[in-house]
Amino acid sequence: MPGPMREQPMQNEIRPHTGNTLRCRGWRQEGILRMLENTIANGERPEDLIIYGSTGQAARDWPSYHAIVARLRELRDDETLVVQSGKPVAVFRSYPTSPRVVLATCNLVPRWATHEEFERLRAEGLTIHGQYTAASWAYIGSQGIMQGTFEVFGACAQQHFGGSLAGRVVLSGGLGGMGSAQPPGITMNGGVALVVEIDPSRIARRLETGHVEEAFDDLDTAWRRCRAAAAAGEARAFALRANAADVCEHFAAASERPDCVTDQTSAHNLLHGYVPSGLTMDEAHRLRASDPDAYRRRAGETVARHLRALLALRAEGVPCFEYGNDLRAAALANGVEDAFELPGFVPLFVRPSFARGRGPVRWVLLSGDPADQRAADEAARALFPDDLLLQRWLSLTGKWAPIEGLPARTCWLGYGAREAMMLRMNEMVARGELRAPVAVTRDHLDSGASAWPARETENMPDGSDAIGDWPYLNAMLNVAGGADLVAIHQNAGNIGGSISAGMTVVLDGSNETAERVSRVFASDPGIGVVRHADAGVPEAVEFLANSDIRAGFVD
């Protein structure tokens, strides 16, 4: 089994402030500033403000970043900073209970929401790609999606392998900011992970941080190592330097195959993220710069081959699924008409949780003290003794979830549990059990925070996959409830393909914050329950009928 993950080294001169010294006029502003700093410190290319997904940015440019910092430091408790696609544009008077920051990123008018128009606007410095948690300053490194990945592979194991991945080899691709969660998600469920990555610098980084324990340049050698580990019942994580499409094609034609296959390459952006077959990273950089049209053409040909190989493996009975990286949409655009015959991970494994308002909450200990992280973990253990999946996750985090920047924790909590946990932590801050306030946020991939017909809202029972009202409602409810930061993004995958909302609340120990917690952490997941019940998801209909949510519709 891989050794303990090591703390992620900082890679640039931006460091999140720690301790109890305020640089801003209040903890709500200070907490947001530390979240911004922490997001950049954990980024893939912090020098370019690129956080993950090859293009996801935290700010439009360095002047915009410094202006955001300056505005946050002077922002009053009755003012709100407005950020448009990574650039601060105004400060307006509001109320002490209003958000301190509102953000909107990459929201193009629907008929103009094309990749070409986005690239034109971005080239002119008018917008950025926000991804999910990059532009909303909620990225905490690989742990951000690690528990979700743990739960997805746990559900996969339950459906296909009797509850465990022990003795199984899972093939995936990509070791970037999102893909780095795949190896621990697989090994935490007892399996052997083989993750294909073409970029040697990413492999080196994941070896350094302990996400993978060995790397290979030869497929045959890597495969023998995987099969030996699986036969011994070991949970191991390996990297292979190769092109994921080439490797999937190899196994589609081979007699021996992985037990399960998915992918986390940056297929949402064929120019800046996905690497065509036959190119090294240096060759890819040169071609991208010299002939972007040729690059896109070759990347499109490769992604089509990649998807066809996955469909061939699935036809042979291998469980295969897309992990939300828009691989299918990219392949469809490049001639694979049956690309969406490959199922997505949300309807396969996640929807029952979302239907009950359960999803990825993350809290960040602004003190910077690992002791605060341990105290918060113990509070979660004590509050939810019957949540066996959560208890198992918390028992594994010391080994598998390194501290990257500020100490943080992601936990999947449902309606009611979120409010209880945040009230408990706010109380811990008030009593001095935590050394500084706590920033609480979540992924945009949550119960009612995203409309993405190729992922979160794929195959809704009533056919409402493309209805985009729900994330807007989520954002407005978070403003009404008094979240400290509220964000609304477009895309996160292909431009025009999705709408999503994010939020952050800073727990400063005050009674006023406790009141806002009770509002925000009821309505934020609650609208997700309502959304799924309205669509006819059975788990949501049952949960809503037995909850305290007053639904406005009649069954």
Distance CA 208, CA 186 (A): 19
Q: What b/e readout covers 388-425, taking b as 16+ CB neighbours within 10 angstroms? A: ebbeebbebbebbbbbbbbbbbbbbbbbbbbbbbbbbb
8 Å CB contact between 467 and 531: no
CB atoms within 10 A of CB 97: 16
Q: Is 361 helix (H, G, I), strand (E, B) or coil?
A: strand
Query: Can you say how many angstroms the Cα of residue 168 is from the centroid of all Cα atoms in its chain?
Result: 25
CB-CB contact of 129 with 55 (8 Å): yes
- Taken in order 442, 446, 447, 450, the sign of the CA dihedral is positive
Nearest of 188, 60, 44, 170 to residue 121 by alpha carbon: 60
Q: Is 463 left (phi over 0), alpha (psi -120 to 50) or beta?
A: left
Q: What is the DSSP string of 87-130?
A: EEEEEEE--TTS-SEEEEES---GGG--HHHHHHHHHTTS--B-
Active site residue 156: no
Q: Which two tokens stand for residue 220?
A: 């045959």
Number of residues that this document lists for the chain: 555
Catalytic one among 106, 156, 260, 411?
A: 411
Cβ partners under 8 Å of residue 21, min gap 6: none
Q: In this structure, what token pair is assigned to residue 18?
A: 């720690």
Q: Are 263 and 172 in contact (CB under 8 A)?
A: yes
**How many whole angstroms separate alpha carbon 44 and alpha carbon 50?**
6
CA 441, CA 470: separation in Å to the nearest integer?
18
Name the residue with tokens 């795949």: 182
Positions annotated as catalytic residues are 411
